[in-house]
Each structure stands twice: as structure tokens, then as C-alpha cells.
A = this chain, B = another copy of it.
Amino acid sequence: MKKSIGVNKRDNVKEFEQADSTTVSVDCVVFGYDGYGLKVLIMDCTMPHFKGYDSLIGELVLKSETLDEAAKRILQYWTGLDNLYLEQVKAFSDPGRHPLGRVISVAYYSLVQIDNYKIDPQLKDRLRWADVNELGQMAFDHYDILHSCLSTLQKKIREKPLGFSLLPKKFTLIQLQNLYESILSIELDKRNFRRKLTNLGLLIDLDELQQSVNHRPAKLYSFDFEKYRKKKSKGNLQFEI
């Protein structure tokens, strides 16, 4: 092995200027939950190579912005929503992943309260909520990106209170349980689940009942984000489901 130069490229300003340059994009997996299953916001791809294929929401990154800022901008543009939970997952970099040339894409996922959100009418022929399990082949490597984000979500939702970003502010314990069951594809015991949740001490009992159901209405709760932050900063908390 030769160390012929003894400097790495970064050290060398000239080599830097001649460096391979790349296009960078952000692709965003927008998850939503409608009470029945986990949904993803899917776009109809119009690019010639993948015309008609399902794709994620994504755009190229500008030189002047961070990736987080790009992801926020893209979400704002396509959903009109702001202040969503947003997390970087992984960079995808197969040189052949984009038919027009080298594009490295950084994947994010984000969580939306699906009930509070209506797809912009101007975009409604290009955007739809798809069931996670219904999606097969997609444009680019978006299927891989989606499933990579899904496994990250499955892991993180057990360690952090992400589930509450997918539910309405007021929710029932059964809705919460169903959410976990459908995201994790497991069954949970109702009583043990409730014991765990109430022992956490982070749910606020709103003393309100569910409306317009044709059976016994369930009690409504909300999640105490403030208390969660406090407990977490004091270090005496491990949220785990």
C-alpha cells in the first residue's frame, strides 16, 4: 500500500476545488395514523423514468441550507404543515439509484396527525395516504427508504413518546394501544398495556368521554409533554413500551 501523497484530499485546496460534486436530495417519509393502520403520504411520480410510480416526498437540497432545513421546507411545501416531528434516518448513495445521475439522498421521517390535516386540493391528484403494507414497487429506491424509516420508527416509538404525535391531542387508551399494535405488528395485552402507561405517570386524564360512538364511550387522555421533558432532564425516566 502506498502512502504516496501523505496528505488526504481534504488537506489540499486544489484537489478540493476539482472534487467530484454531487447532487443531494432529501426524501421524507411522512407517517400518519388513521385509527386503522399506519399510512404514508405518497406522491405520484411524474419523472419520465418512473411515470406513474409511487414515490416519497423529496426535493433537491439547496447550497445555503442544512438538511434539516431542507426537510422542513419540503414538508411545508407539500403538506403546508410546520413543526412536525422530524428525524434524519440515513443517507442512500447507490451510484445508480437515480436515472439522471449521481444523487445522494438523505432520508427523514416525520409524523403527522392525520385528522388535523387535509391534503391541499391543488395537490390532491398527486398526493394520497397509502397503507404502509399496500406499497410494493416504488420509484427510485424509495421502497428501501420507506422500510428503513419504518424500522427506525418501530424502534424509536418504544423508547420515545412518538406515538402521541400520530394521534389527536385527545385520545383513548384503546386508540393508543391500537396504534402501537399496528405500528409494531404485535398484539398487546390490554391490562398490561394500561398498567405500563399509567405507571409512567405521563397521561392526563381529561375527565371527558369519547363522542358519537354507538357503544360505551371511552375516557379521553392527553400526553403530558411538559412533565415528560422535566422528568427526562432530571434523568429519572425511561420511557419504554
Min Cβ gap A120→B in Å is: 7
Q: How far apart sit A95 and B106, CA to CA, in the bound complex (Å)?
A: 16
Stretch at the interface among A32-40, A55-63, A128-136, A200-208: A55-63
Contact residue among B12, B20, B47, B67 (Cβ-Cβ distance under 8 Å from A10): B47
Copies held by the complex = 2
The answer, among B24, B58, B88, for a CB contact under 8 Å with A8, is: B58
Chain A: interface size category: 35 or more
A95 and B1 contacting across the interface, CB-CB below 8 Å: no
Determine the chain B residues whose CB is within 8 A of the CB of A57 once the complex forms.
Answer: 8
Q: Does A66 contact B (CB under 8 A)?
A: yes
Query: In this assembly, does A22 line the interface, its C-beta being within 8 Å of a C-beta of chain B?
Result: yes
Q: Which residues of B contact A77 (CB under 8 A)?
A: 1, 8
The answer to the question of A235 belonging to the interface, with a C-beta cut-off of 8 Å to chain B, is no
Q: Does A13 contact B (CB under 8 A)?
A: yes
Contacts of A93 in B (CB 8 A): 61, 66-68
Q: How far is the CA of A93 from the CA of B120 in the complex (A)?
A: 30
Say whether B23 contacts A22, CB under 8 Å.
Answer: yes
A residues bordering B, Cβ < 8 Å?
1, 3, 6-13, 15-17, 19-25, 43, 45-48, 57-68, 77-78, 80, 88, 90-91, 93-95, 100-102, 104, 106, 120, 122-123, 126
29 A-B residue pairings within 8 Å (CB atoms): A1-B77, A1-B80, A1-B120, A3-B120, A6-B122, A6-B126, A7-B46, A8-B43, A8-B59, A10-B25, A10-B47, A10-B58, A10-B59, A10-B60, A11-B45, A11-B46, A11-B47, A19-B23, A19-B60, A20-B60, A20-B63, A21-B22, A22-B22, A22-B63, A24-B104, A66-B94, A67-B91, A67-B104, A91-B106
